Structure 1
Amino acid sequence: MLLALGNLLSVWLTSTVEIDIPADGRSLLGPKVLLAAVVYALVLAVPFVPGAEIGLAMMMMAGARVALLVYLSTIAGLSISFLFGRFLPLQVLTNCFRLLGFRKAQALLLTIEPLQPTERLQFLMSTAPNRLIPFLLRHRYLALGIVLNVPGNSLIGGGGGIVLLAGISRLYSIPAFLLTITIAVAPIPLLVMFFGVHFFSD
């Protein structure tokens, strides 16, 4: 249901905000282009909304001329979602889980809420049901960077949902998170900047 609503929101916003990239490039940072970049960043921050399609559409229409703008907007959108999760009181989530009847999730949050990040990490690793989870926790920044680039990640919350959970976990420091996403989201914009959009059709 969340995925369907996210797709509907993405389609509605894309059709509502006219993305008009000037062909001559002389007014590249005009109001419409900047509005499209802001909308893209805000949509990307929403869980289960496949906002990346807006950024790809902008690059397909204008190529290398907007690749840097899309790249910066991607970082901004993911940062908004991460910081929202980072500073969201866990008590709010605990109450939501209680209302939804998610008793195990509520109990887990109540257990880890008073723990410091290092203690929280050790607790999660010691109670993990299989060996893969401790490995992912130890290499959580690498895992985050990979999952952000996995096609179809909107099924597990999209970029906004993934980094929102990363923020909620309190296991990622803000500087390291910013460095991670700066590297993780760079490949596509860099390819467009250096090789153009024809790289994807050749």
Structure 2
Amino acid sequence: MPARRRVAGLLKLTILIVIIVAGNLLTKGIIDGLDMDIRPSNEPMLHQIIMISMVAYILLMAIPFVPGVEIGLALMMILGPKIVPLVYGATLISLCLAFMAGRLLPEKSITRFLREVRLVRAAAFLESFHGLGPEQRLARLMDISPRRWVPWLLKHRYLTLMLAINLPGNMVVGGGGGLALMAGMSRMFSIHRYIPMVAVAISPVPLFLLVFGNRIASWPI
């Protein structure tokens, strides 16, 4: 039985890696496909490409370690301020989907997967939180965390998550989708506080492009 569980775990891990690699390749392909001339003659096709790109953007950005955000940035840089509200809304939807996926993922399934891939200590750590409420989880984490700045970050977890979403290089911890997924899995963030927090966290770049996008486009290259 243990051998069968290890094989099952490795198969799941392989599937996860394939999804991440495929997501990265698809992201690159979509960005390359957006590099086209905008003319009245190809406007209908451009609209189709934009809608397909938006759907792909929502799905890809929700996947950890997939730089789906680059699709949104490419759309905003190519099409200017007029596309910014649509990209902003799609970003919010994507990060909420990732968060809900984390909330709905059974904790026992996560710990079972960790044991299947021989991450026994990580599985035991997560199992110690089973059955605890958000405040109990927070108290336990603060008890076992090194004294200094970690307890402060945990106590101000919404601000910490907001900063992490905007942190350059956050792809090493899963990117926006990965952070949203982990926030949901932690069961320490309430959905009615998470949504406005994310809405604010993802607003700086869209607001900047709404205000200065046309001026940036007119700059000489």
TM-score (normalizing by structure 1): 0.88
Q: 5 Å matches for 1:132-143?
A: 132-143=149-160
TM-score (normalizing by structure 2): 0.81
- Contact kept, 8 Å, 2:27 with 2:67, in 1: the verdict is no
Change (3 A) 1:4 1:157: farther
Residue 165 of structure 1 aligns with which residue?
182
Q: How many residues align?
A: 201
| CA displacement at 1:13 relative to structure 2 | 3.8
Change (3 A) 1:159 1:60: same
Residue 95 of structure 2 aligns with which residue?
78
CA distance in structure 2 between the aligned counterparts of 1:27 and 1:183, rounded to whole angstroms? 33
- Contact kept, 8 Å, 2:80 with 2:209, in 1: the verdict is yes
Letter in 2 for 1:103: V
| Largest Rg, 1 or 2 | 2
CA RMSD of aligned residues (A): 2.8
Q: Classify the secondary structure of the residue corresponding to 2:128.
A: helix
Letter in 2 for 1:11: L
Select the residue among 151, 176, 195 that pairs with 2:168. Answer: 151
Q: Which moved more, 1:127-136 or 1:46-55?
A: 127-136
Gaps of 5+ in 1: none
Q: Classify the secondary structure of the residue corresponding to 1:191.
A: helix
Gaps of 5+ in 2: 1-13
Q: In the alignment, does 2:167 pair up with 1:125?
A: no
* Identical aligned residues as a percent: 36
| CA displacement at 1:157 relative to structure 2 | 0.7
- Contact kept, 8 Å, 1:47 with 1:158, in 2: the verdict is yes
Change (3 A) 1:84 1:4: closer
Deviations 1:146-175 (A, max 9, x none): 110111111111111111100000000001
Select the residue among 4, 9, 12 that pairs with 2:26. Answer: 12
**Structure richer in helix, relative to its length:** 2
